Chain A
Amino acid sequence: MKRKLLAFLLFGLFAVTSAIAQNKTITGRVVGADDGLPLPGVSVRVKGGTAGTTTGAEGNYSLNVPSTASVLTFTYIGYVSQEISIGSRSRVDVRLVTDAKLLSEVVVVGYGAQSRALSTQSTSSVSAESFKNVPIISPQQILQGQAAGVNMVNSSGVLGSASQITIRGGSSLTAGGQPLYVIDGVPLNTGNYTQGQGGGSGLNPLLNINANDIESMTVLKDASAAAIYGSRGSNGVILIKTKSGANNSATKINVDYFNGTSEPTDILKYMNADQWRTFRRDFLQANNTAVPAYPTTSFDWTDAVLRTGKMNNFNASASGGNDKTRFYLGGTFADESGYTIGNDLERLSGRFNFNHNISEKVRVGLNYNLARVNSDRIGAENSTYAPLTSSYLQLPYVMPYDANGNFRNTGFIQNVIGLEATGFNKLNSTRNTGNAYAEVDIISGLTFKTDWGIDNALFDEKYREVDVFTPGGYGYISRRSDNKWLTSNTLNYNKIIGQNHSVSGLLGYSFETSRLTNGLFEGQGFASDALPNIGSASTPLTASETGAEWALESQFARLGYSYADKYLFEGTVRRDGSSRFGANKKYGIFYAASAGWILSNESFFNKDNKIAQFLKFTGSYGISGNDQIGYFDYLGTFGAGAAYSDASASTPARVANPNLGWEETEQLDIGLTARLFNAVDLQLNYYNKNTKGLLASVPYPFTTGFASATQNIGEMRNRGFEVTLGTQNVKSENFSWTTNFNIGFNKNTVLSLPENKDPEGRNFISGSTAQRAIVGESRNSFYLIRYKGINPATGDAEWLKKDGTPTTTPVAADRVLVGHADPDFVGGFTNTFRYKDFDLSAFFNFAYGNKVLIDGLRFTENVATPSFNKSTDLLNYWKTAGDQAFAPRLNSPTRGTFNQLSTSQLQDGSYARLKTVTVGYNLPSSVVSKTKVLRSARIYLLGQNLWTIQNKDFRGPDPEVSANGASNLIMGESFFALPQAKSVTFGINLGL
């Protein structure tokens, strides 16, 4: 198959080169006049003639014209048309001026770019302006609240924490559910590269992608947009385009600096030592038990682990170009310390983007990013070595120091102050990401491009615990690298036939492979705490190396046709072959078709009406897939590497399934794009996604010896509606006010699952003890015992039996459906004001209708346990009949079960948050110009997460949690997440 394709490509090349006649060929590049960014899809015609072509993704075109031709016309929706005389030139570069803002938007799409107005794909994009100067560690944070239908959740306030992104409700259960990230055409590796330290996942794998270099992020949502990524498109694709220079422009230098502080948005309640001792004494006495002599000391652990976080960020960039070469150079140094002890992060990164025209018809380019992120890690969530978790649980009479002032080992709930002050817990990571390409215009409108990319990520972790906390001392190093290379080779053809028929075609071949290597070395028994390296350990506990490789080979094609900018059609097909699937399912074919009708371009449409200036209807249908399963899940295997009594041992690891194949999502999308009242840009989309052959980890009875096996079984639907609204409320010389609003509603319904029935007879798959995917319900349904409250008459805690009657001894069979973790809707709301040289912008993001489970409350709201600290809420315990108490009577038979897993820990997770607010002042241009050095100057104050609106009864530090990181089946659960940081930064931007 591939050889045939290659032969075809080459035949095409030679056939067309020989066909190039004596006619003159004009090449050139079309860019926007205001920003110098390339314009794709611009119609280029000979004036008076009928034939023409359209520009490619980078604005380049080549057109074979008769020697008689003298003038070229450039027309593009949303821009003022231009006529340019050719003269004796063979190169004609053009800058087009906009006449309507939304319509002039260019969106990046798979293997190309399109005018938003002419695109039939459903995409959302976020440009650099929306996240400029915002302290961001990983690029996913850019998308929170900014793109309709995208639900982005920070897993915690740990610096560089993993994020969870679901696009249009997510399409997977037990397979990976995160979108594919593609930076300048290179799909990024997004494995779990760091040790989990208490949470369900490690740090964010995209830690090293610097937001400062990003020009735009585009989310491909519907099948017509995602199908070009075939087997990796069904959970959505996020295209990241980095900054580039403009031709023929003076070199621009930008310098940005900001400095700020942070603190937690909120913390949990906890008792002080006196409260604890009094409560404990009362509890023991109420139960006729002797009260031990508890130490009389006291210490505020939570106060001791919190500090004021600090951040410093310095970024400089230079960009520019002449007629043949464009470049962008950017560098960032950032230094951030979190608001709990022990959590720091330092980033140094540089980017070089370069494009050069070797000749009129041959172009080459390079995008290269080198980044290093060093971090001081902390545990989080379910780790008693994590500063905040441990501080909530540590008994408040336990002291961190002994009588001599030395750190004490406090046991299972470890002395986190001592841990952070001694030893270390470091992550050093580096990442090289880049691609180089060469592009040749073969004949008029036909371009061949070969692109070669790499993504090499290396995450090195090093941990050391000193003698006082582990006798003899303990340490490990973990080294994970994921090294990818890929090539994609495409033929692009753009032609305008006659007056109105515009055709564009793409044909491509790509191959991509990546190798993951994990090394773990663990040792114990050091002669001294001064020896940092594992080589000094007397007992090597672990010496492990594992590796695995995957490969993906693909052919793809896209054909676009439009008639008179009124009727738009596009078809996409991709064939993927993957090493991850069984012999019977190695190859998969994915496709999409879409159509659009620009009503406002019809001759009967009066463009001068005051209501609607632009109206476009689009519809698409197609199938994309998901390949995010293990490397060899189809093979029945025995795992080697176990041992017994110094000899190697093997244990069964997996059941064979040669029929293991792709997960397929078919999606229908119907959209409306409009510009109304000359001031309102509106985008509406309805979608219906059906995922079939869900890659599900089918639970096996443990009596088979296996917990589960991955199979294609089950079906799920996401249905939703998205609104994106941009309005120019006021626009005058001195004052302007714009509003951007987006909201995405989604309803997730599991349609079928493997046989595994609950008492109601519905099949389900468990995510956690509390959460499960249930047929007929959401994949993130909470299934819990219902907590009723403290009976004012008896002082006993009461729950509800399945039939709704109160009980003090609920059982597992009393669990019912009590809500879901996926929100009914999420969105964002931004208002930007400009008055003379001042600007003010306020951005809210919100989520509604979701539940979150704060599992840590099971620990802090324990009545009976002497093992850890408690919430002050427990002081409100039942004392006399009629008390409306929080906690039960101290000798109630429910004193030990009060804190059992139930809806008591389940909370309303709806919130709206003032995510960022910025006030800025631009030095007037009259002043700036006098400096002779500066081009622009701005100072600003930026606040992040300053204000959160949430349910008044919410008993948790933050409704935005996801302890399991990017998990599909466990959302909105937390043990003791670090809440998001509330921060204020002051910054300055200078243009030179």
Chain B
Amino acid sequence: MKIKYIIAISALAFSLSSCESKLALTPEQDLTEETIFSNPSTAKSAVLGVYSTAQTLEFYGSMPQIIEEYMGDNVEFVGSFPTLQELRDFTTVSTNGNVSGIWQVHYQVITRANKVIANIASVTGLSDAEKNQFVGEAKFLRALAYLQLVNMYAQPFQVTTGTNLGVPLIVDDFTGTISYPARATVNQVHDQIKKDLTEAAAALPASYATGVDTRGRATKGAANALLSRLYLYREEWANAITAARAAITGPYTLATDYTFYDKNTAEDVFTIQNSPTDNGRTGSGGWASYYSPAPLGGRGDAPFSANLIAAYEAEAGDKRYLLKRTGTAADAVSRAFTSKFPDAVNNSDNSPVIRITEVYLNLAEALAQSNALPNAEAITILNNLRNRAGLAPKLVFATKQALIDAILLERRKELAFEGFRRMDLLRYKQNLRSGNPLAAYGGQKTILPIPQRELDNNTSLQPNPGF
């Protein structure tokens, strides 16, 4: 009798011997660092991982761009986020969570690009052409991140011709040893961007096998176009002209109307591809979420400013002013919103980074700036855009400055809501908002604070004054 139980229990006890190996478990959703750069398909997924990071709300998922628009005078921020309101009011402090998030995601794009640049050479099975292209793509995205970062966290080039502090430059792969970098100057950051874009332009193809990739991945044209933007911001007009002309030779044409948004047409030089299932939306933040009225599914946070409305209404018949929809804003008042990003439900709209229109505007501005008299080519470009907008041509400009002013006005009306306004004001030493002394050119809070979290963590970092 007794033996029976003992045998039964012994059998149970023996059944445990299979347990030992159970402590050796592996993750199911992750790959280890060693495997990721061991074959072409996972290595390619790491390259696309940099683009995927670039989709994020805090990079090109709209938050930095919307901040640029409402710190400038295109957008009236009426939303309820205190951290975004502080930026609107030029009263923020260094603990602002959005400021920290934007910094973090930009460095994610940068370090993920660094990882690709450092490791892609060792991947067996990739051709040299593929390796060059992947490195070029990573350099392009790194340059884009540094340009946006330095625009936000440092006073513009114009304040001290770029000798002021920019942001830390990280170009090497992080492999576990923490470094505590100090801030490079704006000029040093710009030099790195120049270098990356020049190398990327040399390495990248003019186009890809599919139209979507030609618009949605980095190309020779995109690198040159971004270079023209950098030179414009640095007032290096001749270089800006060269880079813009190089970009224009790519597979791009000015659209004939304004239906090109989210369509991957020849208007797009580089556009981050979003879809309902894959986009930068975070919580209730996203291009269309901020820019759409409530009944259409948006937050209703970022309608047209009165100042922008006045700019459009100053010249009747502007088709770009029709790119709007009216509805209840976050303050429960009916307001006008842009219709450039219509899908507030899923935030599937692509993020426009570089359009050929911008490149033409860069070219026109640089031409106008670098000629003592109103430049004919610049005037032609200006009128091409005015014609598309349904406005009568302007052929005669009394002075160089009159032409520049006209180009800048056109630039504002053309690129409104896409994230250009703050820099376009600052580089011409304009105040960001009228009537608010805190928003004056050179004001301490016209730029973002270096996040307190980073200052705490890295004693080599110097804070921006005033926060």
Instruction: Name A residues whose Cβ lies closer than 8 Å to a Cβ of B.
Output: 2-3, 6, 9-10, 13-14, 17, 292, 294-295, 359, 361-362, 384, 393, 395, 397-398, 408-413, 438, 440, 448, 450, 452, 470-472, 474, 487, 489, 509, 511, 513, 524-525, 539-542, 546-551, 553, 577-579, 586, 631-632, 635-656, 699-707, 756-758, 764, 766, 769, 810-812, 858-859, 862, 865-868, 896-897, 899-901
A440 near B16 (CB under 8 angstroms)?
A: no
B19 near A511 (CB under 8 angstroms)?
A: yes
> Given A13-B6, A452-B12, A471-B344, 14 more contacts at CB 8 Å?
A2-B17, A6-B13, A294-B333, A411-B328, A553-B22, A635-B30, A637-B32, A641-B29, A702-B100, A703-B179, A707-B104, A811-B94, A867-B78, A867-B80
Cα–Cα distance between A426 and B278 once the two chains are bound (Å): 26
B52 near A649 (CB under 8 angstroms)?
A: yes
B346 near A539 (CB under 8 angstroms)?
A: yes
| B46: nearest chain-A partner, CB-CB | A650
Cα–Cα distance between A885 and B95 once the two chains are bound (Å): 28
A652 near B112 (CB under 8 angstroms)?
A: yes
The stretch from B128-136, B294-302, B361-369 touching chain A is B294-302
B30 near A769 (CB under 8 angstroms)?
A: no
Residues on A with beta carbons closer than 8 Å to the beta carbon of B12: 450, 452, 487, 489
Known contacts being A440-B6, A638-B30, A707-B104, is A553 close to B20, with CB within 8 Å?
A: yes
| B80: nearest chain-A partner, CB-CB | A867
Q: Give the top 7 A-B pairs by smallest Cβ distance, nearest first.
A: A411-B294, A705-B111, A637-B30, A649-B48, A649-B52, A651-B49, A644-B51
A450 near B108 (CB under 8 angstroms)?
A: no
A703 near B181 (CB under 8 angstroms)?
A: yes
When the two chains form the complex, which single residue of A397, A637, A699 contacts B31, counting CB atoms closer than 8 Å? Answer: A637
| B331: nearest chain-A partner, CB-CB | A866
Cα–Cα distance between A637 and B31 once the two chains are bound (Å): 6
Residues on A with beta carbons closer than 8 Å to the beta carbon of B82: 858-859, 862, 899-900
The stretch from B198-206, B211-219, B241-249, B383-391 touching chain A is B211-219
Cα–Cα distance between A811 and B86 once the two chains are bound (Å): 13
| B106: nearest chain-A partner, CB-CB | A702
Cα–Cα distance between A868 and B301 once the two chains are bound (Å): 12
Cα–Cα distance between A471 and B347 once the two chains are bound (Å): 13
Residues on B with beta carbons closer than 8 Å to the beta carbon of A524: 276, 345-346
B378 shortest CB reach to chain A, Å: 35
A818 shortest CB reach to chain B, Å: 15
B45 near A649 (CB under 8 angstroms)?
A: yes
B212 near A645 (CB under 8 angstroms)?
A: yes
B300 near A412 (CB under 8 angstroms)?
A: yes
Known contacts being A470-B297, A540-B277, A637-B30, is A758 close to B346, with CB within 8 Å?
A: no
Known contacts being A6-B16, A756-B456, is A632 close to B80, with CB within 8 Å?
A: no
B332 near A702 (CB under 8 angstroms)?
A: no
Known contacts being A448-B9, A644-B278, A651-B52, is A578 close to B23, with CB within 8 Å?
A: yes
A649 near B29 (CB under 8 angstroms)?
A: no
Residues on B with beta carbons closer than 8 Å to the beta carbon of A704: 107, 111, 174, 178-179
Cα–Cα distance between A362 and B278 once the two chains are bound (Å): 61
Residues on B with beta carbons closer than 8 Å to the beta carbon of A577: 23
Residues on A with beta carbons closer than 8 Å to the beta carbon of B52: 642-644, 649, 651
Residues on A with beta carbons closer than 8 Å to the beta carbon of B294: 409-412
When the two chains form the complex, which single residue of B6, B97, B181, B454 contacts A17, counting CB atoms closer than 8 Å? Answer: B6
Residues on B with beta carbons closer than 8 Å to the beta carbon of A578: 23
| A783: nearest chain-B partner, CB-CB | B95
Residues on B with beta carbons closer than 8 Å to the beta carbon of A647: 44-45, 48
B79 close to A (CB within 8 Å):
yes
Cα–Cα distance between A384 and B299 once the two chains are bound (Å): 11
B55 near A472 (CB under 8 angstroms)?
A: no
Mark out the residues of chain B between 16 and 70 whose CB falls within 8 Å of any chain A CB in the assembled complex: 16-17, 19-20, 22-33, 35-36, 42, 44-46, 48-49, 51-53, 55
Pairs A–B under 8 Å by Cβ, sample size 20: A3-B17, A6-B14, A17-B6, A362-B5, A397-B332, A411-B294, A579-B23, A579-B24, A636-B32, A638-B32, A644-B216, A644-B278, A646-B275, A647-B48, A648-B48, A652-B111, A701-B178, A702-B453, A705-B107, A867-B331
B71 shortest CB reach to chain A, Å: 15
| A7: nearest chain-B partner, CB-CB | B13
B332 near A705 (CB under 8 angstroms)?
A: no
Residues on B with beta carbons closer than 8 Å to the beta carbon of A656: 33, 176
B91 close to A (CB within 8 Å):
yes
B100 shortest CB reach to chain A, Å: 8
A551 near B25 (CB under 8 angstroms)?
A: yes
Cα–Cα distance between A430 and B161 once the two chains are bound (Å): 66
Chain B 110-134 against A: per-residue CB contact (8 Å), 1 yes, 0 no?
A: 1110110000000000000000000
Residues on B with beta carbons closer than 8 Å to the beta carbon of A551: 19, 22-23, 25
When the two chains form the complex, which single residue of B13, B30, B51 contacts A450, counting CB atoms closer than 8 Å? Answer: B13
Instruction: Name B residues whose Cβ lies closer than 8 Å to a Cβ of A.
Output: 1-3, 5-6, 8-10, 12-14, 16-17, 19-20, 22-33, 35-36, 42, 44-46, 48-49, 51-53, 55, 78-80, 82, 85-86, 89, 91, 93-95, 97, 100, 103-104, 107-108, 110-112, 114-115, 168, 170, 174, 176, 178-181, 212-213, 216-217, 273, 275-278, 284, 293-301, 328-333, 344-346, 451-454, 456-459, 466-467
A758 near B45 (CB under 8 angstroms)?
A: no
A699 near B331 (CB under 8 angstroms)?
A: no
A541 near B112 (CB under 8 angstroms)?
A: no
A470 near B89 (CB under 8 angstroms)?
A: no
When the two chains form the complex, which single residue of A14, A472, A579, A648 contacts B345, counting CB atoms closer than 8 Å? Answer: A472
Residues on A with beta carbons closer than 8 Å to the beta carbon of B328: 410-411
A703 near B458 (CB under 8 angstroms)?
A: yes
Cα–Cα distance between A867 and B466 once the two chains are bound (Å): 28
Cα–Cα distance between A511 and B275 once the two chains are bound (Å): 46
B43 shortest CB reach to chain A, Å: 9
Cα–Cα distance between A548 and B27 once the two chains are bound (Å): 7
Residues on A with beta carbons closer than 8 Å to the beta carbon of B10: 10, 13
Cα–Cα distance between A640 and B26 once the two chains are bound (Å): 14
A706 near B31 (CB under 8 angstroms)?
A: no
Residues on A with beta carbons closer than 8 Å to the beta carbon of B329: 411
Cα–Cα distance between A758 and B345 once the two chains are bound (Å): 42
| B174: nearest chain-A partner, CB-CB | A704
A409 near B295 (CB under 8 angstroms)?
A: yes
Residues on A with beta carbons closer than 8 Å to the beta carbon of B273: 644-645
Residues on A with beta carbons closer than 8 Å to the beta carbon of B168: 703
Residues on A with beta carbons closer than 8 Å to the beta carbon of B6: 13-14, 17, 440
| B105: nearest chain-A partner, CB-CB | A702
A361 near B2 (CB under 8 angstroms)?
A: yes
B291 shortest CB reach to chain A, Å: 13
Residues on B with beta carbons closer than 8 Å to the beta carbon of A393: 80
B197 shortest CB reach to chain A, Å: 21
Known contacts being A3-B17, A487-B16, A704-B174, is A638 close to B345, with CB within 8 Å?
A: no
When the two chains form the complex, which single residue of B2, B100, B456 contacts A757, counting CB atoms closer than 8 Å? Answer: B456
Cα–Cα distance between A523 and B16 once the two chains are bound (Å): 44
When the two chains form the complex, which single residue of B25, B458, B467 contacts A812, counting CB atoms closer than 8 Å? Answer: B467
Cα–Cα distance between A645 and B55 once the two chains are bound (Å): 10
| A754: nearest chain-B partner, CB-CB | B457
Residues on A with beta carbons closer than 8 Å to the beta carbon of B346: 524, 539, 541
Cα–Cα distance between A17 and B10 once the two chains are bound (Å): 13
Residues on A with beta carbons closer than 8 Å to the beta carbon of B111: 652, 703-705
Q: Which of B32, B114, B170, B466 has the most A CB atoms < 10 Å from its CB? A: B32
| A709: nearest chain-B partner, CB-CB | B176
B109 shortest CB reach to chain A, Å: 9
Cα–Cα distance between A553 and B19 once the two chains are bound (Å): 8
Cα–Cα distance between A631 and B36 once the two chains are bound (Å): 20
A867 near B45 (CB under 8 angstroms)?
A: no
A13 near B51 (CB under 8 angstroms)?
A: no
| B41: nearest chain-A partner, CB-CB | A648
Residues on A with beta carbons closer than 8 Å to the beta carbon of B19: 2, 511, 551, 553
Residues on B with beta carbons closer than 8 Å to the beta carbon of A450: 9, 12-13
Residues on B with beta carbons closer than 8 Å to the beta carbon of A650: 31, 36, 42, 45-46, 48-49
Residues on B with beta carbons closer than 8 Å to the beta carbon of A644: 48-49, 51-52, 55, 216, 273, 278
